[in-house]
Amino acid sequence: MLHRKLTKIMAVALIFAGCLHLFGCGQKEPVTLGFVGGLTGKVSDLGGPARNGMLFAVEEANKADGINGQPIQTLIRDDRQDPETAKKVVAELLAKNVDAIIGPVTSSMAVQVAPMAEQAQTVMMGVTVTTNDLSNKDDHFFRVLAATAVHAGEV
């Protein structure tokens, strides 16, 4: 069940990133999506399915001629649920000029790297991020789950 939810989440994120790309430029180069998440260690139960969902969504989109005829390619990075590693791998993705970053998968990593995406003006889509610390900001960080305050009944 978690896999299906994450697959749907990744499909929404992929469509969102694709739409942003389509409106941003007319080049025929591949759309590049980065992924960052805990693929090893204590959160690999979140990171692995999130990565797999994104890869499945990309595969399906590429079977349907990509985004406006542009193939989608992915760059996958493991943040190891470590703040310094997360910063390093996000910097790598940004240096490769990815069109969007899917992830990270945890709030603790998102608060570390969301400012980097903002500075680079690159869309970042947190997968299972619910921290209130990233709420109510006009930035490039988006999430697919509501913040903790919403779940707790606060507004």
Distance in angstroms (rounded) separating the CA atoms of residues 37 and 142: 15
pLDDT band at residue 6 under the 50/70/90 scheme: very low
Mean pLDDT of the chain: 85
**Lowest-confidence segment of 18-27, 41-50, 96-105 by average pLDDT:** 18-27
Does pLDDT of 23 surpass 80?
A: no
Distance in angstroms (rounded) separating the CA atoms of residues 124 and 142: 6
pTM of the shown model: 0.79
**Lowest-confidence segment of 48-62, 73-87, 88-102, 128-142 by average pLDDT:** 128-142
User: 77: which residues sit within 8 A by CB, 6+ positions away?
Assistant: 34, 35, 36, 89, 90, 92, 93
Provide the residue count of the chain.
155
Distance in angstroms (rounded) separating the CA atoms of residues 153 and 66: 40
pLDDT band at residue 30 under the 50/70/90 scheme: very high
**Lowest-confidence segment of 5-14, 44-53, 121-130 by average pLDDT:** 5-14
What is the predicted pLDDT for the residue at 51? Answer: 97
User: What are the residue ranges spanned by the domains of the chain?
Assistant: 2-151
Residue type, 108: S
Residue scoring higher pLDDT (24 or 145): 145
* Number of helical (H) and strand (E) elements in the chain, helices listed first: 5, 5
CATH of range 2-151; options 2.60.40.10, 3.80.10.10, 3.40.1080.10, 3.40.50.2300? 3.40.50.2300
Q: Which residues pair with 78 in a beta bridge?
A: 37
Q: Write the CA distances from 91 to 24, 54, 71, 86, 155, integer angstroms.
A: 22, 20, 23, 8, 34
pLDDT band at residue 144 under the 50/70/90 scheme: confident
Which range, 8-12, 28-32, 117-121, 147-151, has the best average confidence (pLDDT)? Answer: 117-121
